[in-house]
Each structure stands twice: as structure tokens, then as C-alpha cells.
């Protein structure tokens, strides 16, 4: 049986949203698990889950999305394109997929439960977007 370790990190409601989306779930067969373990051993400080998303993004020629600075530096140094969650929220805002007030709320929510994100950068975005929101009124 193949297993998706990253999906297991999500809360039940997050897993449900993910399963209903058009996003693809990558599973890890024994050969991939061995490759991921090797990546974990050669990159101290990164978790197995970190190395799993890194390895799958590399295999698929995709973009790795993370707020983890260490993972971002390591994967970038390995030649992978890496973007942060803040970049994604900013794109959602710029493309008007969600209202500005929702984007601010999303950033505040992310900040409240993920200490690995760059809090100062998030605070700067929130402050700038709140000014922008006030100017819209």
C-alpha cells in the first residue's frame, strides 16, 4: 500500500477540502520512500514530510510551495523553483480570486497557527493591505 505522509499532517477539514479539489495527491511507493529517506539523511533539520514535498516537486518538475525558510533555501539551492504561501495569497489578491478583506483574514489565520512562517513579512502585508482596504472605503 502506498502512503501520503503530507496529507496526514492536515486537519480532517483540510483533508476533506483537499480531496474535493482538483489538486493531485502524490503517493510514495517503497522506492520513493527510500529516495526521500536519503534526502532526509543528507539534509539535517528537514523533516521527512519536508523532504517528501521537495522530492515530489522535483520529480514532477513542479513548484514547491512552502513557508519554511530552511526548506526553501535547500530546495532552491538544488535548482527547484520555490514560492511561499505569502506569494500565493498575494496572487489570489492580485487576481481578485478573493476579496481583500478575505486575504487579510487568511494571512491572520496562517500567522496564528504556523510559527514557521515569516511573521514580520506577514505583518507587513497585513498592515499594507489594511491601509489599502481603508482607502477603498
Alpha helices in 1-137 (DSSP H): 12-20, 30-41, 48-60, 69-77, 85-94, 100-113, 119-136
Whole-number Å distance between alpha carbons of 63 and 1 = 27
Whole-number Å distance between alpha carbons of 24 and 62 = 12
* pLDDT for the residue 118: 85
Whole-number Å distance between alpha carbons of 7 and 134 = 38
Whole-number Å distance between alpha carbons of 129 and 7 = 31
Cell reading at 35:
529516495
**Collapsing DSSP states into helix, strand and coil, what is residue 23?**
coil
Structural contact between residues 93 and 125, judged by C-beta atoms closer than 8 angstroms: no
Where do the domains of the chain lie? 7-83, 85-136
As a whole number of Å, the end-to-end CA separation of the chain is 55
How confident is the prediction along the chain (137 residues), in pLDDT tens digits per residue? 344 566 666 677 767 766 776 666 677 788 999 999 999 999 999 999 899 999 999 999 989 988 788 999 999 998 999 998 888 899 999 999 899 999 999 999 988 888 778 899 999 999 999 999 999 87
Structural contact between residues 83 and 75, judged by C-beta atoms closer than 8 angstroms: no
Tell me the per-residue pLDDT of 12-25, one tens digit each, with 9 for 90 and over.
Answer: 776 776 677 666 66
pTM of the model: 0.66
Tell me the per-residue pLDDT of 62-72, one tens digit each, with 9 for 90 and over.
Answer: 899 887 889 99
Amino acid at each position: 500500500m502506498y502512503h501520503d505522509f503530507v496529507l496526514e499532517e492536515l486537519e480532517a477539514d483540510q483533508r476533506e477540502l483537499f480531496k474535493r479539489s482538483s489538486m493531485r495527491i502524490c503517493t510514495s511507493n517503497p522506492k520513493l520512500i527510500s529516495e526521500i529517506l536519503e534526502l532526509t539523511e543528507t539534509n539535517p533539520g528537514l523533516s521527512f514530510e519536508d523532504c517528501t514535498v521537495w522530492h515530489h516537486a522535483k520529480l514532477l518538475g513542479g513548484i514547491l510551495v512552502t513557508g519554511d525558510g530552511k526548506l526553501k533555501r535547500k530546495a532552491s539551492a538544488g535548482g527547484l523553483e520555490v514560492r511561499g504561501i505569502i506569494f500565493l495569497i498575494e496572487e489570489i489578491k492580485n487576481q481578485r480570486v478573493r476579496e481583500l478583506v478575505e486575504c487579510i483574514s487568511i494571512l491572520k489565520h496562517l500567522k496564528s497557527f504556523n510559527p514557521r512562517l515569516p511573521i514580520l513579512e506577514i505583518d507587513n502585508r497585513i498592515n499594507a493591505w489594511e491601509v489599502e482596504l481603508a482607502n477603498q472605503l
